[in-house]
Structure 1
């Protein structure tokens, strides 16, 4: 009996994975896919001789019929999310071609970004989604490690013999236009990743990365702490006495930030957001205009991606459980969340790339005033110029300001997950911007 149990344990262990790229049958994923859609999946090693990998799903542009067509369209990498979340949220809930809805069924995403781009969804961090860390030491603890892992993995996709470009003959894809978008904490990491690519002459995308997008992105803890008490008060979510309590908490966070106690600062930010949630009668902090957040979507999404049939259809290792988020990752990166290292890089990037920053009007996690504050610190136009009305389909959709290559847009009646809540609006904005 002991031998049988031992054999079962060994058979379910994963001893390391290597870079790979597999062509998928789109009809096995969902009947809503067209049979000729180009869909690929696989793993990307994060550094030389590592058995830890980032998992990905790649969708060729909806008009691409063969791999030779892929080079005719720009490619967009989409990353999620809150601290330690998988990028497959962006795929199956936000911008991918097929969406899992709150009822747990598939539906065609009429506002998919796949109509404009080849889409590449890569888990930002090992240990999230279908990604895998072979040893605990491979879990990153700061932005420098995350960007190093990610850029190495991206080079595997583009240049390795078993990566998609070489193995599946995506000829010319690496020299077409590329964009990287990130939501929430991933937005901060996009800044670091783009900076690393541009700083490395050997990076394949050094001359082909054309722009980045930051959606409700956490970039600067100082701006968030200074703005969130008044933002909550002006929205009527807290009373004057409660605002005073929030201001004391925010001041504590600013002092911790000044002392470079970034772990404590992160905890203080969580405390402040929790207080707003409590004071407001448990308002939905991701969108104050909705009673609930997307937890039902997430629950259905996790159930589907953990099915053995799903793993088989997507050609991911059946022994790796799908994880929406990871407590190990959250603990490892707690101090990185508040570290003020992205803003100087963003200031430089706006002179080299097109930068699109967009915020939902109803989001508490990454509120508009904090974004405007940090933008004012890196671009003088945000101190002097007024935002203009953003018109989409002949209707006011928010406000916008463009300065050089930097564009900022607010989205009316949207929260944290803008592509889910205002898909038509953000698709039109991104399409016109690129």
Structure 2
């Protein structure tokens, strides 16, 4: 019944949309980004940013940034990137730190072009969801305190239906969803909503072909068990803390923990020390970057030509708070937050409905024939590789290939195994945000996913004779 009500609501939304916009191409052109502050090179691809209203009554409105593929966008698929949190901005993290074409330099005021951007092989759509994330907003403040899994999926579906009306040239194009962390909930839930809506409404604009999730929150029990195993097996916590965590944390919500589990988590933090829990073998950010820092001191520290910089999130905080940047991205000044944040703690702290598991959705979507990949950076403690392996084991899928290493430029990039209906890939030396720590390997992974091909094997050596 609930889905039928949603179906009727969506039909009403689309009827309102058709009556309110006579020329969607006109709105599309209004969203075109003509110039970005701090970008001093010309790019060959078009990009667009703006708003899509998903609820007329409260003016609940989501912000997007869309990048056409570098070459031949008319022949490339569309990929939606969703960030986790819940409440973290896809614009700030997915675009500006990970897979997007424009990354922020350490001065917080200039950009460089990411050579490993995923728009080299696909059209990439970034969405700030749920409402209250990034530049997404509502006229009803109570909605900022009532976000949850269900409304996020419903709003994202409405967004896509309306976005394809604005960009009709992409209707029916092969469509994929990808992202990381709490998007491990968002992505399969949205995929399920799309599949259900397509079946009930015979809708054809969203041609969903599959999805890929990284270091993804999937099942509370398995995720907790994997965290405990990883922390202990890598020597980060004591035997006693490991045993207590198994007792007090494995049966509680991953998002809304118990008091006992929180106490153990405090002990874990003390035993870990000052390390980056998202990437345990890379440096921890110790610099407090602000917009008053001099260009001379921070010049190009964030450049792709330099070694990994753990402070990139701080650079985005400066850049997307600049009035000139917000104007270039068509941010409504009346709806813009007084201080833009990479992640909204309000969403995290007030999150309403969080599924204890999405494994049941996996079973349904595997049966529907979607291409489904799970990947995992193997140096993350938040949702580690062990959690993902426990989740895959719980699905009970028969293996379709042996466990094996995959390669890039003759070096092991990670390990992989195919199952009936699902492909699993680890990325060696990568943390929670795989494309940030290992951008080249992340692009190799993405290309294989899009093509539906196995991860690369080691090429046979040529004979010396």
Return the TM-score normalized by structure 2: 0.78
Measured in 1, the distance between the counterparts of 2:365 and 2:157 equals 17
Is 1:311 equivalent to 2:326 in the alignment?
yes
**Which of residues 119, 124, 139 in structure 2 aligns to 1:114?**
119
Is 1:283 equivalent to 2:275 in the alignment?
yes
Is 1:60 equivalent to 2:68 in the alignment?
yes
Q: 1:206 to 1:332 in 2, by over 3 A?
A: farther
Is 1:297 equivalent to 2:316 in the alignment?
no
Is 1:92 equivalent to 2:96 in the alignment?
yes
Matches within 5 A, 1:5-404: 21=28, 22-34=30-42, 36-64=44-72, 70-88=73-91, 89-104=93-108, 105-139=110-144, 140-159=146-165, 163=166, 165=167, 170-171=168-169, 173-201=170-198, 202=201, 204=203, 208-250=207-249, 253-254=250-251, 256=252, 264-265=256-257, 273-292=265-284, 296-319=311-334, 320-321=336-337, 322-333=340-351, 336-337=353-354, 339-351=355-367, 352-381=369-398, 387-404=403-420
Aligned 8 A contact 1:178 1:211 in 2: yes
Deviations 1:267-287 (A, max 9, x none): 766655543332122321101
Measured in 2, the distance between the counterparts of 1:417 and 1:182 equals 9
Shift of 1:215: 1.1
Measured in 2, the distance between the counterparts of 1:47 and 1:346 equals 28
Measured in 1, the distance between the counterparts of 2:105 and 2:374 equals 26
Aligned 8 A contact 2:279 2:430 in 1: yes
Partner of 1:408: 424
Q: 1:137 to 1:222 in 2, by over 3 A?
A: same
Q: 1:350 to 1:369 in 2, by over 3 A?
A: same
Shift of 1:376: 1.0
Measured in 1, the distance between the counterparts of 2:417 and 2:76 equals 27
Q: 1:219 to 1:102 in 2, by over 3 A?
A: farther
Moved more, 203-212 or 215-224: 203-212
The number of equivalent residue pairs is: 393
Q: 1:196 to 1:128 in 2, by over 3 A?
A: same
Deviations 1:300-350 (A, max 9, x none): 1011111110011111112302332223211221x544x324110012212
Measured in 2, the distance between the counterparts of 1:75 and 1:266 equals 40
Shift of 1:154: 1.1
Q: 1:41 to 1:378 in 2, by over 3 A?
A: same
- Give me the CA root mean square deviation: 2.5
Aligned 8 A contact 2:83 2:90 in 1: yes
Aligned 8 A contact 1:414 1:421 in 2: yes
Measured in 1, the distance between the counterparts of 2:152 and 2:326 equals 26
Partner of 1:10: none
Q: 1:38 to 1:271 in 2, by over 3 A?
A: farther
Structure 2, unaligned runs of 5 or more: 1-19, 22-26, 286-308, 451-465
Moved more, 308-317 or 290-299: 290-299
Aligned 8 A contact 1:25 1:313 in 2: yes
Shift of 1:72: 1.4
Partner of 1:429: 445
Shift of 1:401: 0.8
Shift of 1:71: 3.1
Deviations 1:389-434 (A, max 9, x none): 1222221111101123411111111101110111111111210221
Q: Give secondary structure in 1 for the equivalent of 2:194.
A: helix
Measured in 2, the distance between the counterparts of 1:149 and 1:24 equals 23
